[in-house]
Each structure stands twice: as structure tokens, then as C-alpha cells.
Amino acid sequence: MFRRRDHSKSLKRLAIMHHMKIQELISPLDNRYNLRVEDLANNFSESNLNKIRFEIEIDWIIFLSSQCGKNFKPLSSSAKKNLLKIRNSFDAKSSKRIKVIESRTNHDVKAVEYFIREEIKKFPNLKKYEYLVHFALTSEDVNSLSYAILLKEAKEIYLKKLDFLVKDLNSKSKSWSSLPLLARTHGQAASPTTLGKELKVFHQRLLRQKHILKKMKPLAKFGGATGNFHTLELSDAKVNWLSKTNKFLSSFGVEQNSITTQIEPHDGIAEIAHCIQRINNIIIDLDQDAWIYISNDIFKLKLKDGEVGSSTMPHKVNPIDFENSEGNLGISNSLMGFFAEKLPKSRLQRDLSDSTVLRNLGIGFAYSYLGITSCLDGLKKIQPNKEAAILELSNNWQVLSEAIQIVMKLEGYSDAYEEIKTLTRGQNINKDSYHELVENLQISSDSKDKLRKLTPLTYLGIASELAKSNI
């Protein structure tokens, strides 16, 4: 019993120490928001990057020996088995060993290569295949494919989170499809809409960008030191190396860019970055509108036990999720903009200025991912204040001036706009004054009947149908 209690205390101390350690890290992605971006963090971690590099190098040995001609020794079944055993053995210990080697080489890809050589030496029947480790490759071949794989997998994680937001907006747009809402253009009262239709706008915008992002594919190169397949061609000129490398990259679900310098020019990454910027901007637009609706009491925030709003004003419940979302999406925008601007540029056949930038791709993704998560949290807490929405509309009968103008034009009044402008602009129009205005119009009784039936709550066009549509 004593031992168990002591063990429990030890675990608790370790947990506290770990938590304290996390708090010492410089980035809030690694401390405050660590658990909220865990999936992306694992994907973009240096350990995962080295794991992918490691797997590419092993697979390349197997590919060369089995599919690339007589100049490469074919693998025996036992040798292939041992290579696959090495490939599948990568763990935290492997990652640490690579970092130790890198401290000596000052080259991360070379460190992976040397680690593989160490592992191969443990199996006597693999000795004769050691020459195939990193055969005819430049570091950029390995890195280009590695980052393409990272981005492909990151895109899947990111799109899954984005899809939650898209579906939530679609659900809310249908649920609130008929709830009348005073629209505002330039901040002024405008033709009525519904809350559901306004959310449908954001749903459709994000849905389109989701489809665009889903189709985007980061490219990779595998053509050697300056993109001309020198070493592969030299090793066996009879092999169609363009076809072979295409096949190899395809096995990872990555498309090859066959016309490059030493580096793949990163245009595909820039396209992804620009798309995420557009997604960020749409959600920022949503965040700001939600914030205004909360400020105007159109949305109420659901209360959560124990949650503090203002530190000094007890009555307040602040829209912090939408504010948090806006801020984090802004950081992502700055990074994504820089990625898109910087990465496609490289002096002559290559410089190394892209290397350190690529290492930060995960941060740009993570801040956007975090922004989406916070926006979702905000949407969970809001509920429409139907009474306030109806009251606001009921106090703005002047929004029916558009309807009056159209009815008058149908009756042949070419200057209807000017007439109604004179009668309504700057005027406090209520129900009574609206009906008085209609009665004084020189129009048919049928047209008057049509206008009499209208209210700010019913002049909604097809807003409700649009909100419920699957366009």
C-alpha cells in the first residue's frame, strides 16, 4: 500500500514538473495552446520530419534494388525483411540518436543517412547494400518529398477541423433560416434578411475554399543536385529515370515536379498558403460579425458556471472566443503571407534561405487551426435573441422604402427613387407613418394592398429558402 501511494505521489510530481516545463517554453503553441494543436504539432515535429526522411531513404534502397535495372543488386527476401524491420523500428530513441549525430555533422539529412548506416551494420546480410543509402540523391530530394508528405498529412488534419466549422455553420443557417434580422450596409439599416441566410454566406464561402484546398497538392522533386538527374543517368543510362522517380514519388501519394533546379520552387506551397489566408480572412469576417451581433444583443452568450468575464465588472460575459480566433488567425495570415512571398524565390539554382522558413510551416498552420477551434467554441456559446432581433426590425419601418419604390416603378413612376428618398430620408418611419405614406401614394388599390401587407418582419425575399438550400 505504501508503495502505491508513493508511486502515485511520484507521478503527480512528474506531471507538475512537466506542466511547469511546458510553461517555460517560448511559444504559446507549445504551452498555453499545446493540447488544442496537438495533432498538428505531432505532424510538423522535427521528430516526425526525420521519421519521414528515414522512411524515404529506406524505401529508396528497396526501390532501386527491385525496380531499377541490373546495375543494382537485387534484395534477397531476408535482406528486404531486415530493411523493413529497420524502417518500422523508428522511435523516440532513433530520433534522439539522429540529433546526436547532427550535433557532429551540422547537417540534418546527412545525420539521417549516417543513422541508417549504423542500423544497416547490425545486419550482416545488408552490408553489400550499404552503398545504396542516399544513392544519387541530394538532400533537397529527400527534404522536398518529406515536406510534401508533411503538408499532405497536415492538410488532412486541417481540413477535418475546417469541416467541423463548415458543418456547424450549415446546421445553424438551416435552424435559424426564418429568424428575421435587420441587415446593415455601411452600418445603416438596410433591407431585412434572416440570421440563417447571413450564416449561410459564411458557410458557402468556406465550403468553396475547402474544396479548393482539398485539391491542392504540394509537389516534390527528385532530380539531383541541379534537377537534371545527372547521377541517376550516369548510374544507368538505359533506365527511364523520369518515369522511375515518378513512380517512386507516387508511392507516397505525391506528384513529381520534373522540371526544377536543385529545389522544387515551392509554388504549390505558396498556393496552399494563399488559400489558408483566404480561409482565415473569411473566419475573421465571421468573428467580427458575431462580435457585433453580441454587442448589439442579437446574440446572447450562454453562461458557463465558474467562467469569469470582466475581472472588475461581474455582469459581463465577454465574446473572448471570437476575439481569440481573430487574433490567432491574424498571426497565421502574417506567416502564410510571408511563406507565399518568400518560398518561391531562390537565387540561381538554389540558396538555403528557404530551409529555415520551411521549418516554420507548422506554426502558420497551427495558428489557423487554433483560430478555427476558437471560432467553433464561440459558435457553441451563442444563441439568438429573437426578441431583440424582432424589436430592432420593428423600429425600422423605413427599410420598406425599397419595396415602395419597386411597386411605384411597376406602375410607371420612372422617378420613384427620388420621390421616396424625399419622403423617407432622415425621417423616423414607424408603422403608422408607413401606412400613412402608402395611403397617400398615387398608385392602384392592388399595389396599395400589396404594400399594406408588408412589414419589416415579412419583407425577406427568399432569404429563408437560401439559408436552407444546398446550393
What DSSP element (H or E) covers 299?
strand 299-301
Q: Read off the amino acid at residue 176.
A: W
Using DSSP's 3-state secondary structure scheme, residue 184 falls into strand
Decide: 285 and 317 in contact? Cβ < 8 Å. no
CA distance 22 to 26: 9
Q: Is the pTM of this model over 0.75?
A: yes
Active site residues: 186, 310
DSSP count for the chain of H helices, then E strands: 20, 4
pLDDT for 419: 74
Closest CA to 108 of 154, 65, 147, 151: 147
Q: Please report the sign of the dihedral spanned by the C-alpha atoms of residue 255, residue 256, residue 260, residue 266.
A: positive
Count CB atoms within 10 A of the CB of residue 75: 20
Closest CA to 182 of 319, 293, 287, 282: 293
| For the chain, percent of residues with pLDDT exceeding 70 | 92
- The CATH superfamily assigned to 397-455 is Fumarase/aspartase (C-terminal domain) (1.10.40.30)
Query: How far lies 462's CA from each of 150, 181, 203, 447, 467, in Å?
Result: 44, 13, 17, 20, 9
Using DSSP's 3-state secondary structure scheme, residue 374 falls into helix
pLDDT for 67: 87
pLDDT tens for each residue of 207-261: 999 999 999 988 999 999 999 999 999 999 999 999 999 999 999 999 999 999 9
Count CB atoms within 10 A of the CB of residue 429: 19
Using DSSP's 3-state secondary structure scheme, residue 383 falls into strand
Q: Please report the sign of the dihedral spanned by the C-alpha atoms of residue 350, residue 356, residue 361, residue 364.
A: negative
Which ranges in 24-138 belong to alpha helices (H)? 38-44, 46-67, 77-87, 92-105, 108-120
Query: How far lies 56's CA from each of 113, 179, 248, in Å?
Result: 11, 55, 10
Count CB atoms within 10 A of the CB of residue 120: 22
Was domain 139-219+265-390 assigned CATH 1.20.200.10? yes
Closest CA to 220 of 157, 316, 152: 152
pLDDT for 435: 92
**Is it the case that residue 424 has pLDDT exceeding 80?**
no
pLDDT tens for each residue of 6-50: 555 555 555 555 555 667 788 888 888 888 989 999 999 999 999
Degrees (nearest 5) of the Cα angle 162, 164, 167? 110
- The CATH superfamily assigned to 23-130 is Fumarase/aspartase (N-terminal domain) (1.10.275.10)
Domain ranges in the chain with CATH number 1.10.40.30:
397-455
For residue 42, how far is the Cα from the chain centroid? 16
What DSSP element (H or E) covers 384?
strand 382-384
For residue 301, how far is the Cα from the chain centroid? 26
Closest CA to 223 of 259, 253, 179, 248: 259
pLDDT tens for each residue of 55-87: 999 999 999 999 888 889 899 999 999 999 999
Residues in CB range of 138: below 8 A, 6 or more apart: 224, 225, 262
pLDDT tens for each residue of 439-460: 988 899 999 999 999 999 999 9
Domain ranges in the chain with CATH number 1.20.200.10:
139-219+265-390
What confidence tier does 429 reach under pLDDT thresholds 50, 70, 90?
Answer: confident
Domain ranges in the chain with CATH number 1.10.275.10:
23-130
CA distance 71 to 264: 28
Closest CA to 88 of 123, 43, 119: 119
